[in-house]
Chain A
Amino acid sequence: MDVQAKLRILADAAKYDASCASSGSKRARVEGGIGNTTGVGICHSYTPDGRCVSLLKLLLTNYCIYDCSYCVNRISSDTPRARFTPEEVAFLTVEFYKRNYIEGLFLSSGIIQSPDYTMEQMARVASLLRTEHKFGGYVHLKAVPGASEELMLQAGRFADRLSANIELARDNDLAQLAPAKSHGAIEKSMQQIAHGILEAKDKTMRSGKAPQFAPAGQSTQFIVGATNATDADLLGKSSALYRRYGLRRAYYSAFSPIPHADPALPLKKIPLVREHRLYQADWLMRFYGFTAEELTTVVDRNLALDKDPKLAWALRHREFYPVDVNKAGRAALRRVPGFGVRTVTRILQIRRYRALSLGDLGKLKCAVNRAKFFVVTSDHNPSALQIDGVKLPERVVPQVRQLSLFEAAETARSGEL
């Protein structure tokens, strides 16, 4: 099979990983080499489905010895198979990069022979790129749970980001659907990566210069909707992972039923809007000061689908509002539906020089139509009087419409609510 045929199969098989981020890492070009990372990711192209192309996203192989029910590449699936050599992946990456098609490589793989063997093959690609090709572009490697610490550390020295996918929010679901995987093994990999990152930082602090270790940190991915795990389960788990291992990102990927799926799996696709709401909630936890517990209730363990989680919280906590845009602190302003982190920063800056009116908010490119019910401004704002009204939810919740995959992907990328 030639490289072109392999590329078709293994690019197609790689699209189940949601992550395409190429940001957060700074790496200068080495003398005589090619490529650097500047901390800012670049989307080099967009496909007609509206999604960005930043990294060359490939599987090293889609052969797999595991039988995870939710995965198209499970051993019992009859999808066409192919396997790249590490040299072929390195060649494609460098040649694409040189033409400015991509920011770098995102490499994942089915498990062949053993976790150690697979991890070693992936680390070999990264090592080829960094040492033989003097490649300074972005490299994201999938960490194979169960691989030895030594291999993980080796991978981290070459990669900008490592990610071990947690797959499902509850360990007992994993035991059922992916018998070869467990939270124990996955979190052990996360722990190893976190340890490598901390150690490299520590060395840099002491000696000023030390070899880099996964400078863009680690991320993970959840599959949503393959089991009856609730959003509270998912958010609880991701917030624990953020806390324990200092993850940069968690990705939520809606489970889509695959042909000849396991009878234990749901037949229905989950609404894409659920994925979208999870990204919004995740963003609220990381940048808006919300905790996982605040976002769902004891009664309803799932996020509302018809409104964003911040608005849902606001409607449950009317006593918190209205917030005075000219007096309130940053934390309170961030809880106003329709205000983003940047809006809040600008409000705080501008109000030192002049009081903000409702019209001024309009110029800040924030969602005034939502925000106006929850704020007090320098001028008269009649909408704020409805804060305790029974009709508030229907006034403030936008018309229900079908949310598209693109919007979920966009949210994943930008996090804008």
Chain B
Amino acid sequence: MTIVRAHDFLSWRNESRRLLAADVSPADVHWAGANETLFGGEQATEAKIGSVASVPKEFLRLAQTAALHRDDDRWNVLYRVLYRLTHSEPSLLKVGIDDDVRRLELMNQAVSRDMHKMTAFVRFRRMENSDPECMVAWYSPDHHVVKAIAPWFSRRFGGVRWSILTPDECAHWDLEKLTFTPGVPRSAAPASDDMEHLWKDYYASIFNPARVKVKAMKAEMPVRHWATLPEAEIIPNLLAKANVRVIEMAKNQKSSAAEFVPRTNDLQQLRAAASVCRGCELYARATHVVFGEGRPDAKVVMVGEQPGDEEDLKGHPFVGPAGRLLDKAMLEAGLDREQVYVTNAVKHFKWIERGKRRIHAKPSGIEISSCRPWLEAELASIQPELVVCLGATAAQSLMGRDFRVTTERGIFFPHRWAKQLVATIHPSAILRMPDRRDEEYALFVHDLKLIAAKVRELEAASRRLS
């Protein structure tokens, strides 16, 4: 039994050439790789033995990679394959189901994967106060791949100075050439970086808490690498909060009337279905659903905010103080109340308790959007010529959150649910401004007159069409 030592590909090749020249069978050789260190063995030089045998290029490629594997048995496997290739089985590598070839391939795969993972998982930190900028990473590869993969980093990050520190050896780039030094402990690398909080934020925002697949993540990003990945620090936290976030998401998701809206254009059926709506939490404290009222073929639909105290008790829209003010203003502006369908953006009364009174509370964005399917179903059924939004809630429900009633009132917009849409203030706003009541009321009537004129114009247009 011959005992030979190898510590890298070149030394293995030199020894193998010697053994092959003497025709030593793999069974009679033991390759010792123990107590090898990368810098302990002397650097091998090309042996002065001429070519002893030719092997496929493919083998050299495989062998060079497999030589970086941490398994000491690699030299034995390599020599066995080499011996078989040069003796009776020149096509051995083509038979992927041979045990030795398979072993070689597995080692080759493990090393390639390790190199690939290194390109993925190295995380640079900027050296504090470095000028010019210097980036430093600490990493712990599975195999002896630092030298082999360092050129990849200099190609990509050639414009910056960097060092990659590992326990085995370190690579350094000074903008011109790569140098290698012995391994160092982790404490040699910077402990933090000022971009890491943004990176962690990004990582947290793209994680979908509804799909926790820890095993899949760990298969691709093994836990042994987590120590050097800044984002891995927040994984336990993300996982701990995932359940809570899912419950919150489900709550927000459930917050829509959509599933209660029947697929029909019949207003009576819609009204009946609305009475049991649980699309948001408001139903719990309200007396009635206050659905829209008016002719199913109305040319004008007026949309308010939400029912008030009186509306809630009676179950009809615009029957309280604001409704009475609206009736009065419409009369003055020459709008026929009988021809108009009135409804609200939110169909339940939202209130807070003040002593014995129920005080109106503004519906939230989620409540408005949860209720919108009802409003849209009403509009889809009636197909009005004109939609009049009374107040910001209605306007924003139909025109988006950027809509401002103060600057855009009285302007007619084309809209998907009607030929035209226009917004003005809500009559209850006038009631809440006692010192400016008369001016605001006049402005409101002015807007309604514009609307009355537009209604006549639209009617004339549709008469011409028919």
Which residues of A pack against B, CB within 8 Å? 3-4, 7-8, 11-12, 14-15, 28-29, 31-36, 38, 42-53, 56-57, 67, 75-78, 81, 92, 95-96, 98-101, 134, 179, 257, 259-263, 267, 346, 349-350, 352-354, 360, 363-364, 404-406, 410
Q: Which of B159, B217, B252, B370 contacts A32 (CB 8 A)?
A: B159
* A49 close to B208 (CB less than 8 A): yes
Task: For B256, give its contact among A47, A76, A260 (CB under 8 Å).
Answer: A260
Asked if B216 CB lies within 8 Å of chain A CBs, one says yes
Q: Tell me the residues in window 345-379 of chain B with beta carbons closer than 8 Å to chain A beta carbons.
A: 365-366, 368-370, 372-373, 376-377
Q: Is the Cβ of B242 less than 8 Å from the Cβ of A48?
A: yes
Q: In the complex the two chains form, what is the Cα distance from A49 to B369 in whole Å?
A: 29
Q: Determine the main DSSP class of A at the interface with B.
A: loop
Query: Judging by beta carbons under 8 Å apart, are B202 and A259 in contact?
Result: no
- Chain B residues near A78 (CB-CB < 8 A): 365-366, 368-369, 396, 400-401
- Does B244 belong to the interface (CB within 8 Å)? no
The answer to whether A34 and B220 have CB atoms under 8 Å apart is no
Binds A, one of B150-158, B422-430, B438-446: B150-158
Residue pair B217, A48 in contact (C-beta under 8 Å): yes
| New contact pairs (16) apart from A34-B157, A50-B214, CB-CB < 8 Å | A31-B159, A34-B159, A35-B156, A47-B203, A48-B207, A49-B212, A78-B401, A99-B125, A101-B123, A257-B258, A259-B366, A259-B369, A260-B372, A350-B96, A364-B97, A406-B213
- Evaluate contact between A43 and B203: CB separation under 8 angstroms: no
A45 lies within 8 A of B229 (CB): yes
Of the stretches B38-46, B231-239, B302-310, the one at the interface is: B231-239
7 smallest beta-carbon distances between A and B, as pairs: A50-B213, A50-B216, A260-B369, A11-B205, A49-B211, A47-B207, A46-B221
User: Which chain B positions have C-beta within 8 A of A38?
Assistant: 152
Alpha-carbon gap, A75 to B396, bound state (A): 10
Query: Given the interface contacts A48-B213, A98-B157, does A363 sit within 8 Å of B102 by beta carbon?
Result: yes
Within 8 A of A (CB), among B236-257: 238-239, 242, 252-253, 255-256
Instruction: State the CA gap A330–B281 with chains docked (Å).
Output: 62
B368 surroundings in chain A (CB, below 8 A): 78
Given the complex of chains A and B, what is the CA–CA distance between A410 and B220 in angstroms? 11
Q: Assess whether B123 is in contact with A350, with CB atoms less than 8 Å apart.
A: no
**In the bound complex, do residue A101 and residue B372 qualify as a contact, i.e. CB atoms below 8 Å apart?**
no
B contact face: mostly helix, strand, loop, or mixed:
helix
A32-B159, A48-B214, A50-B213 known; A263-B207 Cβ under 8 A: no
Of the candidates B124, B195, B217, B396, the one whose C-beta lies within 8 Å of that of A50 is: B217
| B370 close to A44 (CB less than 8 A) | no
A77 to B399, CA, bound (A): 9
B95 to chain A, nearest CB (A): 6
Q: Is the CB of B213 within 8 A of A34?
A: no
Binds A, one of B114-122, B291-299, B319-327: B114-122
What's the minimum C-beta distance from A42 to chain B, rounded to whole angstroms?
Answer: 5
Complex CA gap A127/B370 in Å reads 42
B376-A259 in contact (CB<8A): no
A-B contacts, 18 listed (Cβ < 8 Å): A34-B160, A43-B120, A44-B121, A46-B220, A47-B206, A48-B212, A49-B217, A50-B214, A51-B206, A53-B203, A56-B202, A57-B206, A75-B400, A78-B368, A98-B160, A100-B124, A100-B157, A353-B95
A29 in contact with B213 (CB, 8 Å): no
Q: Which residues of B contact A48 (CB under 8 A)?
A: 207, 212-214, 217, 235, 238-239, 242
Residue contact A346 to B96, C-beta cutoff 8 Å: yes
Contact call A95/B220, Cβ cutoff below 8 A: no
Interface size for chain B: under 10, 10 to 19, 20 to 34, or 35 or more residues? 35 or more
Asked if B211 contacts A405 (CB within 8 A), the reply is: yes
Chain B residue at minimum C-beta to C-beta distance from A361 = B97
Residues of B near A12 (CB, < 8 A) are: 205-206
The answer to whether B456 has its CB under 8 Å from any CB of chain A is no
Greatest chain A CB density within 10 A among B96, B135, B152, B156 is at B156
The CA of A400 and the CA of B259, in the complex, are separated in Å by 29
How many angstroms from the CA of A48 to the CA of B210 in the assembled complex?
A: 10
Chain B residues near A76 (CB, 8 Å)? 398-400
Please report the C-alpha to C-alpha distance between residue A372 and residue B276 in the assembled complex, in whole angstroms: 57
Verify if B94 is at the interface (C-beta below 8 Å from A): yes
Report B-chain residues with C-beta under 8 Å of the C-beta of A410: 216
Residue of B nearest to A265 (CB): B258
* Contacting pair B238 A260 (CB below 8 A): no
Please report the C-alpha to C-alpha distance between residue A262 and residue B416 in the assembled complex, in whole angstroms: 12
Check: B174 CB closer than 8 A to any chain A CB.
no
State the CA gap A280–B382 with chains docked (Å).
Answer: 45
Q: How far is the CB of A354 from chain B (nearest CB, A)?
A: 7
A360 close to B97 (CB less than 8 A): yes
Residues of A within 8 A of B242 (CB): 48
Given A50-B211, A404-B211: A45 touches B252 (CB 8 Å cut-off): no
Chain B, Cβ-Cβ closest to A40: B116
Tell whether A99 pairs with B124 under 8 Å between CB atoms, given A7-B205, A35-B156, A46-B217. Answer: yes
